[in-house]
Structure formats: C-alpha cells, structure tokens
Amino acid sequence: MPSSILVGTLAVLAGAVQDSPSAAPVLSMSDAVALAYNRDDPSVTRFEADALALRDLAIADAQLDDPSASVVAQNFPVDSFAFDQQPMTQLQLRLRQEFPSGRTRALAGERRSAEADASLALGQDARRELALEVRLAWLDLFGALEELELVREAQAAVNELIDALAASFAQGRLSSQDVMRAELELSLLADREAALEQRADRARAALARYLGVGATRPLPEDLPDLAPPPPPEALDAALTDHPNVEALNAEIDAEDTDVAIAKEAYKPSWALEGGYGVRGGDRPDLATVGVSVSIPLFTGNRQDRRLSAARKERLATALTRDELLLDLKREAVSTYADWARLTQRLERYDAVILAQAEDTVEASIGAYGGGLTDFPELIRSQLAALEAEAQRLRLAVERAEARVRLIYLLGDPS
C-alpha cells in the first residue's frame, strides 16, 4: 500500500474515533488480543475448516466401497440372435461387493482422524502466532508513542531554555554560534519526531490488520504488568505441549496407522458376487453366487516395500519432531536470557542511570548560571537526559517483547 494511502486511511479512522470519544476506550494489550480473536482471522479459521473436512473424510473412508452392478447378455447365438434358441442364452444381472483386507477400512478412518488432530494443533499454533503478532505490534506502537512524547517534551524544554536565555544573547553572553547549535538540536529533534510518527503509523497499520478500526483507540500510559516466565528448568516440559509439537505427534499417529494398514495388506481381500440370469423358451432362470479372494503370495516388491516405506516415513517425522523440540528449546533459552538481561539493565536504569542523568541536568543548570559552563553543554545535558529516558523505555519494551515471545513458545499463563 502506498504511504500516502496508508496515512490517509489512518487519518480517516482516527477522525472517526475523535468524532465519538466515548466510543474509543483505552486499548490494552489484552483487549487487542481479544479483539483479534473475535474477528475470526482466516489464518486461524482455515485450520478449523480443514479439521472439519478431515472428520467427514474419516467417516467416509471407514465405509465399504459402493457395490457394483452389471447387466450381461450371455451366450446369444450369432446366426439368429434368438433369445430362446439355445438353453444357455440368458440376460444376467450381476452384483459385486468388495471387502478390503483386514481392518483397512477402520484404519483409514483412524488415519483421517489423526490428520484432523494435526490440523487442529496447527490451528492452535496459528492462534498463538496471531496473539504474538498483535502483542508485538501493540508494543511497537506503545514504544513509538511514548518516545514521541519524550521527544516533544525535550523540544519544549530546549525552546524554554532558548527563550529564558534570550537576555543573555542580548547582553553578549550567548553567541550566535550557540543559538545555531540550539536550532540544530531542535531540527534534529523535529526529524526524530517525524521518524517516530512514521513508526507509530506503521505499527498502527499492523494492528489494523488484526483489529480493524479498533487499532485507532488510544493506548494506556503504562506497559502491562506481565508475569515473570517460568524458570529455565521448566522449559522442556512446557515445550513438549507446543502446538507444533502436538501437530507432529498427530502426524506420527497417522503414520503409525499407515504402518498398520501396510501390515493389513498381507491379508487377503475378498469379494462377494451374485447373479440372476433370465432365460427364454420356458426354461428355468439361473442364479449364481460366488466369492473371490486375493492371494498375496508375492510380497517382496509390493507389501514388503510399502511396509518398509511406512516405517521410514514414520521415523522421518519423529526425527522432525525431535529437531523441532531442539529448535524451540534453543529459542526459548535465548529469549529467556534476553528477558533476564533486560530486567537487570532496567533495574540499573531505575536505580542509578536516570538519577545520574537528572543530577547532571541540575548540575549543568547551576554551572551555567554561575558562568562555569557554556550553553551547548547545557543543551547536551538536557539531550543526554532525554536519551536516558528513551533508552529506558526501549529496554522496557524489549523486555516485554521477549516475554510475549516466551508466551508464544511456552503458552499463555493466563
């Protein structure tokens, strides 16, 4: 979508919300996820539809094939084609019903049911992915809006400094170079503001993909209070319940059924036949009943190969599941480490760095008032304090992102 169209669309949506403020309550992260769930996103519902289709196929595959019927004109004399000339001439109706070997039909139905279970598990994974995408977009929007607010506060602070020191410029204490430096910093802040507005527009558009007009609602002032993740030693047990793992387990069940079906192929299949022949010339009609049975004698290149292939496919899927578990564990351990380190860094900012930044600003103001430092240094201290607050915000958002990724991997604690 071109950027002009995107901005225009968001502006229309935002205008609709502004016209009716009572219809725009604060959009919390949990509200955003609930709205996304209620919209029946096709990325989730397609798996549910597929599972329903497979349930129907499970019933159909467990049934007998339709019987076959045939009508045969048998033993007609070719010299006259008379119906009553020869004793064996007859019109015969035949019926035939085939029965697959062993439990093949029941096993075919069980296989479809296992495929349906796999599809439902994939649907649960799609639901988790949907929640993850919504949460990440929400956090991106929150971070952009909060940092935008910090930048605007910094712009106002720098403007106040310039206005308050106008007298110093008139008295010659503030040089034109100092004024130009301040104006440059304001221009850089204005560009940063524009970049954050662009980021916020993109994040809101990402939310609109899942929430529609709900994405235009205002966000709360604080990040949600997410519960800490489970300890690292609990990761393995949680990952075994991941929907993608459950989907592969269902596929393994389906392939176990394939192995059983391949074994059933060593048993004979059979068919029941019946016929009724009508004869002319006051001759009695004839009835025929028969049973046919397959004889699986030469199994080396058919049944044996199919059984071997079914076992190997089952092994391949089991190895794929083991590989997935290793990948999920690696991702979970790495994300947990990110969350723990970000928590430490946030504690350092809250305990030390933000206070140091504030003290530096106050010291710079005092030093400038006493003529011990210059105006650019005063501006730099203000911007350093802004950067400290912005970095603290980014760390908080990154930690929340790490936590919601762990929710995707380990499941939602709520």
Q: What is the pLDDT of residue 107?
A: 95
Which amino acid, residue 222?
Answer: D
Helix (H) and strand (E) counts in the chain: 11, 4
Q: What is the pTM of this model?
A: 0.82
Is 60 exceeded by the pLDDT of residue 192? yes
- pLDDT tens column, 37-82: 999 889 999 999 999 999 999 999 999 999 999 999 888 888 888 8
209 token code pair: 């993909």
Nearest one of 226, 190, 245, 224 to 409, comparing CA atoms: 245
What is the residue-averaged pLDDT of the chain? 87
Are the C-beta atoms of residues 149 and 219 closer than 8 Å to each other?
Answer: no
pLDDT above 80: residue 378: no
CA dihedral 133, 136, 140, 141 (to 10 degrees): 60
Model pLDDT, residue 142: 96
Per-residue model confidence as pLDDT tens digits over 159-181:
877 776 665 555 555 567 767 77
The predicted structure's pLDDT at residue 4: 37
Region 104-109: mean pLDDT is 94
- The mean pLDDT of 183-212, rounded to a whole number, is 92
Q: What is the pLDDT averaged over residues 316-340? A: 96
pLDDT at 273 over 50: yes
Helices 375-410 and 303-348: crossing angle in degrees, nearest 10, is 150
Percent of the chain topping pLDDT 70 = 88
- Kindly state the greatest CA–CA separation across the chain: 138
User: φ and ψ at 72, to 5 degrees?
Assistant: -125, 130
pLDDT at 243 over 90: yes
> In the predicted model, is pLDDT for residue 345 greater than 50?
yes
At 214, list the tokens: 């709900």
Query: Token digits for 17?
Result: 């919300």
